[in-house]
Amino acid sequence: MSQELQQVNSKEMTYVPLGNADPIKLSLAIIERQIVTPTKSGKKPTKKEMVDFMMLCRARKLNPFEGDAFLVGYDTRDGAKFSLITSHQALLKRAELCPHFDGMESGLIVEDEHGNLVETNGDFIHGESKAVGAWARVHRSDRKIPTLRRLNISRYNKGFGIWKENPEMMGVKCAEADALRSAFPTTTGGLYIQEEMPQVSVQTPASILTDTDDDDDSDVAPSKQRQLPTSQGKHDSMGVDEADRGDGDKFELLEEAE
């Protein structure tokens, strides 16, 4: 194991997120206590999965305290899985910071009463029309041809969460995310949003920080237990040390080093 990875495991890392002026600190204790969303069965990620999350946040300069990224667990037939979920705003921020970004268009692919497919702007749908797909087009001033992505809503809509209530809005978000990743692969490649993974539920940082109700047993509530099964189905007795849970682990912007 490299010296850098040993430092990540035992202490914390600091870096400056994209678009920010001040550095932030991430540690295993901070991630476990304030960022992780356990699975419905109560399992939490292993230390390695949390280290991977830290490393990817630093590599992509994501700020989980501003809602750029989440470490979210979900149960599968093969056991618990944890994924880094990126917010839609994180992709938009990266596009905005690129000097060649020249705007984005998006909307729905609608089937009208005559069975014709028509592209509309935005996620508004009227009358008897049915949204069967979504599209997004990203423009860059340094490219002659814009990046266009279309998707079939039925392939994403599994009837969970907001997908069940507002599939049009969710479909447009997915199309935008796909187009942004293709248009800006260096800064957004490999980053997927919650809407593209309907089997997971994300709890925002604000709700994590204000959640003090010990009776909250919702699926996405942070665990009140001190020790939970890890995603490998074991109790991680080698978890975060007491020393890592001290006052120094309060997430906050670090003062500039003198």
Which sequence spans correspond to the domains of the chain? 3-87+196-249, 100-187
3-state secondary structure of 115: coil
CA distance 67 to 24: 13
Q: 51-107 pLDDT, tens per residue?
A: 999 999 999 999 999 999 999 998 888 888 898 899 999 999 999 999 999 999 999
Enclosing H/E stretch for 51? helix 47-60
CA distance 258 to 251: 20
Name the percent of the chain in helix, strand, coil, to the closest 5.
35, 25, 40
Positions in the chain whose pLDDT score sits under 50: 1, 5-6, 9, 204-258
**Which 8-state DSSP code applies to residue 242?**
G
**Which 8-state DSSP code applies to residue 108?**
E
Q: What is the pLDDT of residue 128?
A: 74
Q: Is the pTM for the entire model greater than 0.85?
A: no
Q: φ, ψ for residue 71 (rounded to 5)?
A: -110, 105
Q: What is the pLDDT of residue 16?
A: 95
For residue 57, give both structure tokens.
Answer: 């946040």
Enclosing H/E stretch for 189? none
